[in-house]
């Protein structure tokens, strides 16, 4: 109330005296209530009017040393990092690599091999002629193979971090997918699973074909899960497929612990992530506790956590492969809920009912000219053809 009286008096005085800058009095009244800082501000000792007198660092090492001292010095203000650390104690914590160790190839051998290939290409007459005539075709299969052996695993890991795959499946952990996992739902349409591409539930209605490079005599475990689909628990997942003790790359010969369940993203919940994870086993594993009945029609039995499975068998298997796609609702999801899961379909969006029209009359009185358009069946009409 006192501040309002001061502002009103200042405006009245400015009007009576003919002063145009009456706002200056109001601003001064607000600034007089400003609270002083609790301590010295950063770089308060520097005289900005005489910057020539500021001591120069003269070397980068000295600047770096003083910057480190200033960073470790206790200050009275609260930094953004302290705010985040108080809100999330695990912020900035180092993640654990749970995958296979990565062996960096020898740089000298790589350079020597590259120079040898360039020397052979320069001596190749047919290659020079195709390049000059602009008929040279790059073999994309070789490019794909080279990418998978060099920078491919790092790119896949970066995409998995972008989509939050490691955050939701393996909290505070990650792995480098060194084994390329190829998932194909339809050979005719070329419906492949890559790293975040979009598929429809209709395209993923049946179990896909899986292929990967495996040594003879090795055992593997394949998992398909969805961290976004659970209807009651945000931290839980729904398992869609689990095959253990796969000999080599023959998925059909493995022990099917959970039969394939088509994706069922609820209507109105947007895109869901469906993630394939490939584990390499050190030997045969007894999965009797993880077997689901067939057919499994209960969502309670499909409730699952990947991190719990890994913690249980982490001494006997290691994640090495990854592939995932995104999916949202279509009409086949309704059939999955009704026929496969035997339950009502949950809907999280408003379904607008059709527009109501009163019964059509033969002689409409005082109706608009396009009265009959309300009662068309939507099919193409043949006007004037009898």
pLDDT for 178 equals 95
Per the CB < 8 A criterion, the answer to whether 157 and 165 are in contact is: no
Per the CB < 8 A criterion, the answer to whether 297 and 259 are in contact is: no
pTM, to two decimals: 0.73
List pLDDT tens digits, range 118-154: 999 999 999 999 999 999 999 999 999 999 999 999 9
Q: Determine, yes or no, domain membership for 327.
A: yes
Q: Determine, yes or no, domain membership for 111.
A: no
- DSSP strand E in the chain: where? 96-97, 173-174, 182-186, 191-193, 195-198, 209-211, 219-226, 237-247, 255-258, 272-281, 303-304, 317-327
CATH number of residue 335's parent domain? 3.90.280.10
Number of domains in the chain: 1
Range of the domain at 213: 154-340
pLDDT tier at 162 (50, 70, 90 boundaries)? very high
pLDDT tier at 52 (50, 70, 90 boundaries)? confident
Per the CB < 8 A criterion, the answer to whether 219 and 283 are in contact is: yes
Q: Determine, yes or no, domain membership for 110.
A: no
Residue, of 58 and 232, whose pLDDT is higher: 232
Q: Determine, yes or no, domain membership for 267.
A: yes
Helix (H) or strand (E) holding 116: helix 107-123
Q: Determine, yes or no, domain membership for 179.
A: yes
For the chain, give the mean pLDDT.
86
Residue, of 302 and 189, whose pLDDT is higher: 302
3-state SS string for 249-263: CCHHHCEEEECCCCC
Q: Determine, yes or no, domain membership for 130.
A: no
Q: Determine, yes or no, domain membership for 265.
A: yes
Q: Determine, yes or no, domain membership for 376.
A: no
Residue, of 10 and 234, whose pLDDT is higher: 234
pLDDT tier at 89 (50, 70, 90 boundaries)? low
List pLDDT tens digits, range 266-322: 999 999 999 999 999 999 999 999 999 888 888 999 999 999 999 999 999 999 999
List pLDDT tens digits, range 59-81: 888 888 888 888 888 877 767 77
């Amino acid at each position: 109330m006192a501040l309002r009286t001061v502002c009103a008096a200042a405006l009245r005085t400015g009007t009576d005296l003919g002063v145009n800058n009456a706002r200056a009095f109001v601003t001064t009244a607000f600034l007089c209530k400003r609270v002083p800082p609790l301590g010295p501000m950063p770089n308060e000792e520097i005289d900005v009017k005489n910057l020539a007198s500021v001591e120069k660092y003269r070397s980068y090492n000295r600047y770096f040393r003083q910057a480190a001292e200033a960073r470790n010095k206790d200050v009275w203000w609260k930094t953004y990092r302290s705010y985040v650390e108080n809100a999330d104690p695990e912020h900035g914590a180092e993640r654990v690599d749970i995958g296979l160790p990565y062996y960096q190839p020898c740089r000298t051998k790589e350079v020597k091999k590259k120079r040898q290939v360039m020397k052979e290409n320069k001596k190749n007459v047919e290659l020079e002629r195709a390049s000059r005539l602009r008929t040279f075709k790059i073999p994309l299969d070789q490019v794909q193979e080279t990418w998978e052996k060099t920078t491919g695993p790092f790119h896949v890991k970066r995409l998995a971090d972008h989509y939050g795959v490691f955050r939701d499946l393996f909290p505070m952990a990650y792995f480098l997918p060194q084994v390329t996992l190829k998932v194909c739902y339809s050979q005719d349409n070329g419906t492949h699973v890559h790293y975040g591409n979009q598929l429809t539930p209709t395209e993923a209605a049946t179990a896909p074909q899986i292929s990967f490079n495996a040594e003879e005599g090795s055992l593997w475990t394949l998992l398909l899960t969805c961290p976004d689909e659970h209807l009651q628990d945000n931290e839980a997942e729904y398992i869609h497929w689990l095959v253990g003790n796969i000999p080599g790359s023959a998925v059909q010969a493995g022990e099917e612990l959970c039969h394939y369940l088509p994706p069922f993203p609820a209507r109105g919940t947007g895109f869901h992530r469906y993630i394939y994870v490939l584990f390499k086993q050190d030997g045969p594993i007894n999965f009797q506790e993880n077997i689901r009945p067939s057919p499994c029609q209960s969502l309670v039995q499909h409730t699952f956590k990947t991190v719990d499975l890994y913690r249980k068998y982490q001494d006997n298997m290691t994640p090495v492969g990854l592939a995932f796609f995104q999916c949202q609702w279509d009409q086949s999801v309704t059939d999955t809920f009704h026929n496969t899961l035997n339950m009502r379909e949950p809907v999280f969006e408003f379904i607008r009912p059709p527009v109501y029209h009163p019964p059509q009359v033969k002689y409409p009185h005082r109706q608009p000219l396009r009265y009959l358009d309300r009662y068309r069946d939507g099919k193409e009409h043949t006007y004037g053809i009898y």
